[in-house]
């Protein structure tokens, strides 16, 4: 079924009404679904007992697998509806590539199972990091590291997180923790925040570091559906509180993964891989399963404009997917790009709402500098390629 739209290409000053647009290709970059917290060593920071998970640290949870299977079925139904895929033709038309850690591999497998593609998930079967997804600086000169550090410090100093720090102090009861008694980590608001580059990795210290650690636990407790009196010990009850507190974790990501010039440097291998797919990929559907950090870096390096995801506390939500869609305008004989963020709300994730064609996930149109997008989110594919060539 062709998409029926009224769209405007500002560059051409052309108004085109009720045209049939045919979907030609989709390249999706996805975050893994619900995982356990990556750092389980948090007992120092609160006298309270932290909630536990059934899976190992950083692993996909059972609920995350269920939600990802549903997302796979939803995407499959959409691709069939748009006639991009035909049943029983998946081996030649679908390619799924995951970073080589458990949560991304298992997310990809769950997606493939839900979609019924019957294809193998490709990943590098090695204990070494996959360079396509690895988040490290590739340039290690002193001058560049100093430039990166300075840019991170400027951005860090632009945030005022004192109120969030004070509330986090109370939630974890930091002043009565072992961290306070033995290491003088008693008040996040008084700790000196800072940034550094260690072995190519961008790190933070002080209140923003510990706040990020606490929020990772609280969010995963919330997403995995733990009773509300267990999520942050029942201390976070309203969306307003969540927004206030997750500003800390989003600021941490902003400093480390949405700052120039480190964004292009760290995402260069992923960008090179995806650029090759955009230009030469012969499959109709590509899915890359990675992390929020990969999505942050890629969108930043491609100069995507700031965006808002309604009903979400994160800019790169659990299980969310950035869809780069290539459409063909048969009337004007031109190829178009549309970029959408397809995701579930924070509440949908917590409630275990399974995405479907009749109950679709939320979406937001994304736009980048250098590509003239119309009101329906379309720009010329050739302009997009020019943007890629100039990065």
DSSP lists the bridge partners of residue 94 as 285
- CB atoms near residue 20 (< 10 Å): 14
Average pLDDT over every residue of 71-94: 93
93, 292, 329, 374: which one is catalytic? 292
Partners of 287 in the β-ladder: 28, 96
> If you average pLDDT over residues 199-228, what whole number do you get?
96
217: annotated active-site residue = no
Q: For 56-78, what is the mean pLDDT?
A: 97
Q: What pairing do the DSSP bridges indicate for beta strands 285-290 and 94-98? A: parallel
Whole-number percent of the chain with pLDDT over 70: 95
Query: Residue 232 is part of a domain; what is its CATH number?
Result: 3.40.50.1240
Q: Above pLDDT 90, what percent of the chain?
A: 92
Of the candidates 202, 228, 259, which is a domain's last residue? 259
250 plus 283 within the same structural domain? no
Domain shared by 250 and 156, yes or no? yes
Do the Cβ atoms of 73 and 261 come closer than 8 Å?
A: no
Q: What is the mean pLDDT of the chain?
A: 93
Cβ count near 186 (within 10 Å): 15
Same domain, 255 and 304: no
Tell me, yes or no, whether 50 lies in a domain: no
32 counts as catalytic: yes
CB pairs under 8 A, 24+ apart, for 350-353?
350/222, 350/223, 350/225, 351/225, 352/63, 352/66, 352/67, 352/225
Does residue 105 share a domain with residue 76? yes
Q: How many structural domains is the chain composed of? A: 2
- Domain-embedded: residue 384: yes
- Residues 323, 340 contacting (CB under 8 angstroms): yes
Length of the chain: 391
The pLDDT assigned to 78 comes to 97
Residue 25 has, within 13 A of its CA and on its CB side, a CA count of: 18
- pLDDT category of residue 15 using cuts at 50, 70 and 90: very low
**Do residues 96 and 236 both lie within one domain?**
no
Same domain, 358 and 381: yes
* pTM (2 d.p.): 0.93
**Both structure tokens of 373:** 């997008």
User: Among 100, 116, 105, which Cα is nearest to 64's?
Assistant: 105
Do 11 and 128 fall within a single domain?
yes
Residue 251 within any structural domain of the chain: yes
* Segment 133-149, tens digit of pLDDT: 999 999 999 999 999 99
Residue 55 lies in a domain: no
Can you state the percent helix, strand and coil of the chain, rounding each to 5?
Answer: 45, 20, 35
- Point out the domain boundary residue: 231, 259, 287: 259
pLDDT digits (tens, 9 = 90+) for 142-191: 999 999 999 999 999 999 999 999 999 999 999 999 999 999 999 999 99
- pLDDT (mean) for 315-333: 96
Beta-bridge partners for 19? 5
Q: What is the pLDDT of residue 88?
A: 76
Backbone angles phi, psi at 2, to 5 degrees: -75, 150
Mean pLDDT of 343-354: 97
Q: Left if phi > 0, otherwise alpha if psi is -120 to 50, otherwise beta: which for 134?
A: beta
Q: Where among 227, 259, 291 does a domain terminate?
A: 259
* 348 and 386 belong to one structural domain: yes
Look at residue 87 in the predicted model and tell me its pLDDT. Answer: 78
Residue 170 domain-assigned (yes or no): yes
Please name the residues in contact with 78: beta carbons below 8 A apart, sequence gap of 6 or more: 357
CA torsion sign for 354, 355, 357, 359 is positive
DSSP structural state of residue 223: H
Q: Is residue 19 part of a domain?
A: yes
Tell me: do 240 and 310 sit in the same domain: no
Residue 221 banded pLDDT, cuts 50, 70, 90: very high
Among the ranges given (50-54, 313-317, 350-354), the one the predictor scored with the smallest mean pLDDT: 50-54
CA distance 97 to 247: 31
Residue 45 lies in a domain: no
Catalytic site residue from 32, 217, 224, 291 = 32
The pLDDT, as a whole number, for residue 19 is 60
Residues 292 and 245 in one domain: no
Query: Who contacts 334 (Cβ-Cβ below 8 Å, separation ≥6)?
Result: 328, 380, 381
Q: Contact at 8 Å (CB) between 97 and 287?
A: yes
Q: What domain range is 119 assigned to?
A: 3-37+61-134+264-390
Residue 6 has pLDDT above 90, yes or no: no
pLDDT of 4 over the 70 cut: no
If pLDDT is split at 50, 70 and 90, which confidence band does 8 have?
very low
Q: At residue 5, does pLDDT exceed 50?
A: no
Q: Where are the beta strands (DSSP E) in 213-343?
A: 285-290, 321-329, 334-343
pLDDT (average), residues 325-345: 96
Q: Are strands 285-290 and 14-31 parallel, antiparallel or unpaired?
A: parallel
Residue 272 sits in the same domain as residue 253? no
Residue 29, domain member (yes or no) = yes
pLDDT one-digit tens code per residue, 93-115: 999 999 999 999 999 999 999 99
Q: Based on the domain organization, do 28 and 96 belong to the same domain?
A: yes
Distances (CA, A) of 166 to 160, 276, 289: 12, 47, 36
């Amino acid at each position: 079924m062709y998409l029926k739209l009224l769209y405007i290409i500002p560059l051409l000053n052309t108004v085109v009404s009720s045209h049939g647009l045919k979907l030609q290709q989709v390249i999706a970059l996805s975050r893994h679904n619900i995982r356990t917290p990556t750092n389980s060593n948090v007992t120092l920071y609160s006298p309270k007992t932290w909630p536990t998970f059934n899976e190992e640290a950083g692993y996909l949870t059972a609920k995350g697998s269920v939600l990802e299977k549903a997302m796979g079925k939803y995407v499959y139904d959409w691709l069939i509806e748009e006639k991009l895929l035909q049943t029983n033709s998946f081996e030649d038309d679908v390619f799924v590539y995951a970073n080589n850690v458990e949560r991304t591999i298992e997310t990809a497998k769950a997606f493939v199972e839900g979609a019924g593609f019957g294809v193998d998930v490709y990943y590098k079967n090695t204990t070494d990091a996959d360079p396509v997804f690895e988040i490290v600086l590739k340039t290690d000169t002193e001058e560049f590291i100093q430039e990166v550090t300075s840019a991170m410090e400027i951005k860090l100093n632009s945030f005022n997180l004192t109120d969030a720090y004070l509330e986090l102090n109370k939630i974890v009861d930091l002043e009565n923790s072992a961290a306070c008694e033995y290491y003088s980590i008693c008040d996040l608001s008084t700790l000196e925040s800072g940034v550094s580059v260690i072995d190519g990795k961008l790190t933070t210290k002080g209140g923003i570091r510990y706040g990020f650690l606490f929020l990772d636990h609280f969010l995963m407790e919330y997403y995995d559906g733990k009773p509300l009196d267990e999520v942050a010990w029942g201390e976070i009850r309203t969306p307003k509180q969540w927004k206030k507190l997750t500003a800390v974790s989003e600021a941490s990501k902003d400093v480390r993964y949405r700052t120039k010039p480190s964004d292009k440097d760290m995402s260069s291998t992923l960008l090179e891989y995806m650029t090759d797919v955009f230009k030469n990929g012969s499959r109709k559907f590509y899915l890359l399963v990675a992390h929020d950090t990969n999505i942050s870096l890629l969108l930043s390096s491609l100069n995507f404009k700031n965006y808002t995801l309604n009903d979400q506390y994160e800019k790169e939500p659990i299980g969310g997917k950035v869809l780069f869609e290539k459409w063909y305008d048969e009337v004007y004989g031109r190829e178009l790009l549309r970029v959408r963020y397809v995701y579930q709300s924070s509440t949908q994730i917590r409630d275990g709402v399974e995405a479907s064609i009749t109950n679709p996930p939320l979406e937001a149109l994304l736009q980048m500098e250098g590509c003239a997008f119309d009101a329906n989110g379309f720009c010329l594919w050739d302009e997009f390629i020019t943007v890629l060539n100039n990065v």
